[in-house]
Homo-oligomer: A and B are copies of this chain.
């Protein structure tokens, strides 16, 4: 593989420019063909498939950091992550490369840069709609905070839960939602409520200016405003995929019928 293809720029002297280029490329979305060799890079539409892999890179690099590893080659990262080295280089080149031939990747730097790409350098306040088991499980899970995701309130309609707290986070009644959103910056709403209520609540949240929804309700949300970012976690779908693969493997082994 040619050097120019793998590492379009050298970052040795200018580590801070990498993410800036990325930001610039987003700013200049309509301007497909920009200056070459300058501060602008050619705009690429980054596929959600690439984005889905980024948190995994971030996780592995975090583990390497914790283990005191300072730099890593794409081959070694490839071995650990069970992804081809070429895939790693392609994925990271979407954001400007981050690597340097003969040196490999600086673990701390790459971890930070991917964190910025994923928006983990900003704080995200979350409210959880539905204080049932799943809602409480999310509120109890402390590790989200490490990455800047802070749950600041839960909401439910069950009066028995009014004023109770989960790990110090208060459960509010649904009719307090408007006031709460006026008093607090809310970036993300997690929906852990029955699917029948999901659309109405989601549109109410969007009306309050919340443009990101982490949806656990087993339904594809029908939103009036299409600028809302939705990330679905459909647990039943996940179980069904598992089940498909179980059946497939059993049949391959000839264990059934």
B-contact bits for A133-158, CB 8 A (1 contact / 0 none): 11011101101100111000000000
Q: Cβ of B147 and Cβ of A236 under 8 Å apart?
A: yes
A124 at the interface (CB under 8 A from B): yes
Which of A5-13, A22-30, A100-108 contacts its partner?
A22-30
Q: What B residues does A181 contact at CB under 8 A?
A: none
Q: Cβ of A55 and Cβ of B133 under 8 Å apart?
A: no
Q: What B residues does A82 contact at CB under 8 A?
A: 220
A234 at the interface (CB under 8 A from B): yes
What is the CA–CA distance of A81 and B222 in the complex, to the nearest angstrom? 11
Q: Identify which of residues 67-91 in chain A touch chain B, using a CB-to-CB cut-off of 8 Å.
A: 81-82
What is the CA–CA distance of A169 and B122 in the complex, to the nearest angstrom? 41
Q: Is the interface of A mostly helix, strand, loop or mixed?
A: helix
How many subunits of this chain does the assembly comprise?
2
Q: What B residues does A124 contact at CB under 8 A?
A: 243, 246
Which of A56, A119, A136 counts the most B-chain CB atoms under 10 A from its CB?
A119
Q: Identify which of residues 100-123 in chain A touch chain B, using a CB-to-CB cut-off of 8 Å.
A: 117-120, 122
B-contact bits for A230-257, CB 8 A (1 contact / 0 none): 0101111111111111111101101001
B-contact bits for A22-65, CB 8 A (1 contact / 0 none): 01001101000000000000000000100110111011000000
Q: Cβ of B27 and Cβ of A212 under 8 Å apart?
A: no
A120 shortest CB reach to chain B, Å: 7
Q: Cβ of A238 and Cβ of B233 under 8 Å apart?
A: yes
Q: Cβ of A241 and Cβ of B187 under 8 Å apart?
A: no
A16 at the interface (CB under 8 A from B): no
Which of A140, A227, A245 counts the most B-chain CB atoms under 10 A from its CB?
A245
A229 at the interface (CB under 8 A from B): yes
